[in-house]
């Protein structure tokens, strides 16, 4: 019994067609990831200069406040940013201090 493939329907051709059909989706996802990276880098650069409130971050980065709040919440969730004391009706945010495993163990022993 011989198995026959339809003419012009090889696995390589199918894969090429699939890549071509998804090229725009891949490009859009890559562009979104690049934009997200740039936003995070801008926020981190602003926070390296000192603690800032959301309005101060808006002024420093020119990023809309809703977007800043989203990224701050995400960065806070992953331990990159911490919420400080309140400054009026806003909290001040700062970069989390990087701790090594040795520093964390030493602070646990205290």
Tell me what pLDDT residue 98 has.
58
Is the pTM higher than 0.85? Answer: no
- Collapsing DSSP to helix, strand or coil, 96 comes out as coil
Cα separation, 104 vs 99, whole angstroms: 6
Tell me what pLDDT residue 97 has.
83
Tell me what pLDDT residue 35 has.
96
Cα separation, 11 vs 29, whole angstroms: 26
Q: Are 64 and 35 in contact (CB under 8 A)?
A: no
Low-confidence ranges of the chain (pLDDT < 70): 1-8, 98-110
Taken in order of first residue, the domains within the chain and their CATH numbers are 15-109 (1.10.10.10)
């Amino acid at each position: 019994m011989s198995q026959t493939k339809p003419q012009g329907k090889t696995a390589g051709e199918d894969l090429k067609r699939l890549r071509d059909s998804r090229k725009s989706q891949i490009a859009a996802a890559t562009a979104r990831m690049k934009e997200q990276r740039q936003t995070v880098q801008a926020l981190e650069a602003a926070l390296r200069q000192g603690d800032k409130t959301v309005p101060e971050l808006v002024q420093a980065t020119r990023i809309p406040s809703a977007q800043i709040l989203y990224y701050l919440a995400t960065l806070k969730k992953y331990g990159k940013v911490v919420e400080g004391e309140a400054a009026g009706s806003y909290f001040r945010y700062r970069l989390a201090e990087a701790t090594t495993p040795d520093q964390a163990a030493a602070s646990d022993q205290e």
